[in-house]
Every structure is written in C-alpha cells, then in structure tokens.
Amino acid sequence: MTVGAFLGAHPPFDALDEDELAALAAVAEPEEHRSGTTILAEGLGPPAYVRVVQTGAVEIVHGGRVLDLLGPGELFGHAAMLSGLPLGFSAVARGATTCLRLPAESVRALLGRPSGLRYVARSLLTPLGDDHGPDPAQRPVGELIRAPLCTAPPSTTIREAAQRMTGCGASAVVVPLVDGRVGILTDRDLRAVVADGTDTGSALSDAMTAPAWTAAADRLGGEVLLDMLDRGVRHVPVLSPTGEVLGVLEDVDVVAASTRSSFGLRARIARAGSVADVVAAARELTPTIIGLHDARVAAGDVAGITAVVVDAVTRRLVDLAVADLGAPPRPLTWLALGSLARREAVPSSDVDSALVWVGPERDADAAAHSRALAERVLAGLAAAGFRADANGAVATNPLFARSYEAWAAAARGWLRDPTQEKAPILVSLVVDARPVWGVRASPAVPDVFRDARRHPDLLRLLGRYALAHRPPTGFLRDFVVEHSGRHRGRLDLKRGGLVPVVDLARWAGMAAGVTSASTPARLRAAAAAGTLSPAAAATLEEAFHLVLGLRLAHQVEQLRAGEEPDDLVRPVDLSAVTRASLREAFRAVASVQRRIVAELDLGVR
C-alpha cells in the first residue's frame, strides 16, 4: 500500500482528495523505532511534526502509567502542535514500530477543516487516565449521545446520504425501515464504498447495514460498550422506550481512550488465519489488561473486555474448526458459562463452556461433530492460555453438549424436582449461559428459567445454596485465612469475597425473572422487582466492585512478575484502609445473608 493510500484510509486524512493526499505523502518521512524508544518526550515544546503510526504500536505514557495504546493509522502530537503548549505525555514504541512524520504546516490546515475539527474534538473528548466527571460506563446511554441525529429514507442515494452526514456533522445516518426497525450507514461504510468503486448514485439500501443492532436508552454505557466490542461495531442507534430513535451512540462517547485498543485486538483475532495466529494475537491480552488497569479503567470494565477478547478467540477457533471439519450437521451454538458468560472474567478465570444444537436429542452425527469441534476449540484455547474448567463444565463433556430439547427437558426437570443430584450447581451454570458462536436467534436455554418465580421450591433451594458461602469474617476483627499448607495466612478473594455475592445475585435475579446477566445487572433488577431491598442490592453491588477491584489488582501484579495469577492475598500485605474497607464489605454482605436466612426459615421467600 502506498503512503497516500494508507493515509487516505484513516481519519482525518480520509477527507482529502487524491491530489491533497499525494502532496501530503510527498512530505511524509518514515521513521523506524526500536521497541522502548521514546519518540516524543513529555515536557518538550510544541512539536514541529505530528506522527501517524504506520506499523506496530505506540504507548502514550504519563507519570509512569500507560494511558493509551495507539495502533496503525492513529495520529499523535497534534494537540500540542495546535495549542502551542509543551507535550503532556511521552510517546514510546511498543515493539518495532514505523511512524510517518508529517510537517506541522502540512497538517495544520487539514485539522482546521470541519472534518479535521471533528477528529480533534473526538480525540480530546475523553481525558486520559483520570476521572473528569461521572463515569460514562455507569450512565444511561441516552445521556451520552453527542452527535445530532441524521436520518434518510432507503431510497436516498449514497452520495446524498454522505452530504446529509456532512451537513449534520454526524458520522452515521439512520435509515427507518418499514418493519419498524432501522438501518445504518457509517463513515466507515462510506470508505468501503469508495474503496470498492461502488456507484455513489446507488440507493442507500445497497450500502447500509440492516437491520442495525440497537440499544435501549436506559442501558448503562459500560454494558452497551461491551456489546459493541463483541459485535465489532462503533455506532449504535439508541431507542426510547417507545422505539423512537433518539440518536446514534459512538464508541468514543462512552469508552475511555485507553479502552479503544481493545477493538484493534479483537479485530486482529478475527483476521487470524490459523490457530497459531489466534494464539499469537491472544498473547496481547495480558499487556492489554495491565495497560487498562494502569490507566485506571474500572475493574468491571476490564473484566468485561477480557471476556469479550476470550469470546473473540473462541469464535475464531470455532470458525477454523468448522473450516476443517465441515459445517455442523445441525444448527449449533457455542455457549459461554460462568464468569465469562457474566463478563466478569479476570486473568485467573477458567473457561466454562457448553454446546447446544437444534434437532433430535439422539443425533449421533451432531454429537460426534460437536465433540470433535469442542476438542479442537478447547485445545486452541489452552494453547492461548485459557484453561478449561477443571470440574467438567466443558463442551467436550456429554452433559454439556446436548440438543436444545434435551437441555430444555433437563431444565424443566430441575424446576420440577430441584433436589436432584447437582441440580443447584447445574442450574447456576446454565442460567448464566450466553451464546458466543452460532445460532443466536435459536431458543435460549436460560429462558426456561424465566418463570422460576412459579417454582418456589427451586428458588428456596438456590437461596440456601447461595447462602452456603459466607464471607470470611472472624471473631477477633480479622479475616478467616488458610491455616495450613502452602496457602497458609492467605485470603481467597474469589471464594470468600465474590462467590457469596455472585450466588446471591443469581438467586435474586431469577426470583425477579432475570436469567443470563451480569451480577450488577441482576442486583439492580432484583431491587427494581422487590426481591431485594434497594439497600441490600446496593450493599452487595458495592462489595462486588470492591472485591473484584482487589482481585484484579492482585493478579495484575502477578502478571507483571511473570507469575501464574491466583485469588490468594495476604491480608498483612494490604493497606490498613483496604483491610478496613474489605472487612466492612464482608460484614455488610454477612448482614444481608442473615436477613435472607431468617426470611427463608420463616417461609417469607
């Protein structure tokens, strides 16, 4: 690819015509940087050049923390150049990196155009690394829409749609469809139209995505962002409760700059041509997690992004397996279970999985194909560093690879007789299930439990199962720790801190009619439905975020040291403030549990 073609494929240079691109390419100077080289140093005066990453990656560093990771096509140094102020960060090559150095005078005029101003505004909208106002991840997406709504009927030409987008100052146009759904055409779609040589006089319906994936206005930004990452989209129409399109949410509206690199990692995994390529791409997850943590991205968001990346690895491995084995004889869906399904994964999380096919229960061909596929996928995941669940909740186990009818029959059996062996454990796994690959439109296995409220015996049993895990609070204002063996003196954050909250949230969520969902979402639904008091739900959610944050911080330090991540911390190593916060959180969770125990004993629940 020529320098001009490379620049023209990325904003803000995609707004230039061929002659302007050729002129800019003529003054662009390639620079080769070895890994660890400081390309721009913090505190230096405004640069005479701005730079574009051509290959490799560049870390944006401030105060010893990595605030952002820039990939090919991303621009840096332009803010200091435009403001005339010293650089507020250092730019350091991660791995062998090539940059294109562009004279400031050649770029300044471009950044003064409407398209350039939009680029500058978007790149500076979210301050790096620090909190400046409410966290967008915790706000409803209806409050995060910045760009004006731009719409056009399907009969509009592509050229007219592009003109409307320019006039509106929007990066996407929404297209109402006759069935009540909507289509969408984005600036990325327009670049594809130009690259493919499509006639811009063609109807908009020939280039748009329809139906577009949409989000309800009351969904939280962090939850929608994870879905955007999972689906590989950067624009989503936001709908009011009545189905009216309120506007289009962009990833930059909700995601911190440090998180945007996750899109690139997911894209590299999706392009991997072999299992070895998938494994190589997946190795980027560890530095990504460390970088996100260092940039003070919330632990819940890091956990969600981790799950999205593991989903992408799984999806690509399934695609490669299907390419070798042939298409499944029956429509097939790969399900994530456990923390991956809830998008609460950390580096130590194992992979719980299941398979479901549409068709007869006793289909030998479907079962054999599913097992062969699962063996390949789990082997690939293991090679990429994601170990399978050691307790057998894996898609190679016939108990977790069944037809939908067999799954549904088993679930109905657990509803009728929850005293069956391992019923509480299996219900807890299945109700978390989330589709990762395959037929997403097929009946969802967890949906069988939506009427769990009509089965009080099951709910009571699940409630008692959830209450079996107690926070590790001792009698002498201390924690219960391991008393012998190599883990002596250590506290298990997962077993003692997270599991009690996760299990209570699942039980309370099921009582509220909620199945597959994250722990915080289940707690909020339970509070809204009255199955938990708002105060109890808030207590549990606060404890969840505290323990998850400690768990992630502990494992990040282990990753830095080249150690295998685990959940065991030494309370004496925690600060006095952290110990006090953790102790109070455990006590609050224990208090909620005692109230629920009393209600179950009295038959209130």
**Sheet of 235-239, strand order:** 215-216, 235-239, 245-250
Of the ranges 10-19, 54-63, 79-88, which one carries the lowest mean pLDDT score? 79-88
| pLDDT at residue 482 greater than cutoff 60 | no
More confident residue, 51 or 486: 51
Q: Residue 544 and residue 126: Cα distance in Å, rounded?
A: 26
The predicted pLDDT at position 255 comes to 53
Q: Residue 483 and residue 165: Cα distance in Å, rounded?
A: 65
Distances (CA, A) of 287 to 62, 327, 513, 566: 17, 35, 38, 17
Count Cα neighbours of 262 within 13 Å in the Cβ-side half-sphere. 36
Of the ranges 208-222, 274-288, 527-541, 543-557, which one carries the lowest mean pLDDT score? 208-222
Give the CA radius of gyration of the chain. Answer: 26
How big, in percent rounded to 5, are the helix, strand and coil portions of the chain?
50, 15, 30
To the nearest whole percent, how much of the chain has pLDDT over 90? 36
C-alpha 523: how far from its chain's center?
20
Tokens 């109807």 locate to 203
Alpha helices in 283-363 (DSSP H): 285-294, 299-325, 338-342
Q: Per the structure block, which two tokens stand in for 481?
A: 């720790």
The predicted pLDDT at position 115 comes to 58
**Which residues does 148 contact at the CB level (< 8 Å), separation at least 6?**
168, 169, 170, 247
Helix (H, G, I), strand (E, B) or coil at 69: strand
Over residues 113-138, the mean pLDDT reads 50
Residue-wise pLDDT for 349-408, tens only, equals: 999 999 999 888 788 999 999 999 999 999 999 999 999 998 999 999 999 999 988 888
Pairing relationship of beta strands 29-33 and 65-70 according to DSSP bridges: unpaired
Find the helix packing angle between 261-271 and 275-282, rounded to 10°.
170
Query: Are the beta carbons of 307 and 556 closer than 8 angstroms?
Result: no
**Which residues does 17 contact at the CB level (< 8 Å), separation at least 6?**
none
The predicted pLDDT at position 192 comes to 80
pLDDT band at 338 (very low <50, low <70, confident <90, very high): very high
More confident residue, 18 or 268: 18
More confident residue, 284 or 147: 284
The residue type of 459 is L
pLDDT band at 153 (very low <50, low <70, confident <90, very high): very high
**DSSP assignment letter at 149:** P
Q: Residue 190 and residue 174: Cα distance in Å, rounded?
A: 14
Q: Residue 341 and residue 502: Cα distance in Å, rounded?
A: 13
pLDDT band at 256 (very low <50, low <70, confident <90, very high): very low
Q: Which of 39, 27, 38, 54 is nearest to 109 (CA)?
A: 27
Query: Are the beta carbons of 224 and 141 closer than 8 angstroms?
Result: yes
Tokens 């769990």 locate to 452
Mean pLDDT score of the chain: 83
More confident residue, 113 or 492: 492
**CA 538, 544, 545 angle in degrees (round to 5)?**
95
**Which residues does 9 contact at the CB level (< 8 Å), separation at least 6?**
1, 73, 191, 195
The residue type of 229 is L
**CA 503, 507, 511 angle in degrees (round to 5)?**
165
